[in-house]
Amino acid sequence: MFQKFHYLVSAINGDAKRVIQHLPVSEQGFRVAWEILVERYENERLIINTHIDNIMKLPCLISENSSQLRHLVDTTKCNLEALKAMKQKTESWDMIIIFTVVQRLDIKTKKEWELHMSNKELPTLQQLYTFLENRCNALESIANKPKTNEQRQYMGRKISHFYVSVKPMCEVCKDSHAVSQCHIFKQLSNQKKCHLVKKIKLCINCLSNIHMIKDCQSHGCKICGK
């Protein structure tokens, strides 16, 4: 009985837990706790209303989104199954549920549904479920589709343009030009240039700050000009 009481307390939260938290952990305490919870929460009409409300308050989708679409379908299914378990005749609710769900769809998906059901026959809820499942699969497939060569080349051009458009900063005077164009650097002797380049960790060949001499592909030394 102690085990049952502890399990009961661990299985509930919120107001329900606060109602019974001061009862003694005993056989009598368990019976009292159970009676209190049944009296307060075993309200069949309230439970049915809650499940219906969950369906009627489904969120509206603003744009195509597979995860939100699946959530909408799952919420509808779960609450209808719960209502069916409570002996509600949900098999005759198809048109009401279809109308409710379709009104929550984004514009593109709603349009596709209307085109899909262009005939005058009344659709079934299962047909809507199948349509939405296929729609989710299609959206996920498009989202995971690898980029084509043209898309990759376009992205490469955008990235290259980004790097080209960034002005270099001189590591000597901090102005917006390359070190090789710095008038302060040019006035130094070759010995002082070499010392400064090593001090601020530039490539000793091209004066770049993004690689060292071993990775340099430039031809001609920017220090001595040879």
What is the rounded CA–CA span in Å between residue 107 and residue 59?
Answer: 14
The whole-number pLDDT of residue 212 equals: 79
DSSP characters for 24-87?
Answer: -SSHHHHHHHHHHHHHHH--HHHHHHHHHHHHHTPPPPSS--HHHHHHHHHHHHHHHHHHHHTT
Q: Name the token pair of 97.
A: 């549920």
Domain presence at residue 115: yes
Residues 17 and 50 in one domain: no
Query: What's the pLDDT tens digit per position in 2-23?
Result: 677 777 777 777 777 787 777 8
Residues 71 and 131 in one domain: yes
Query: What's the pLDDT tens digit per position in 87-112?
Result: 999 999 999 999 999 999 999 999 99
pLDDT for residue 214 is more than 60:
yes
- Please give the model's pTM, rounded to 2 decimal places: 0.51
Residues 60 and 99 in one domain: yes
- For residue 16, give its domain range: 2-42
Residues 10 and 66 in one domain: no
Residues 20 and 57 in one domain: no
Q: Are 50 and 94 in contact (CB under 8 A)?
A: no
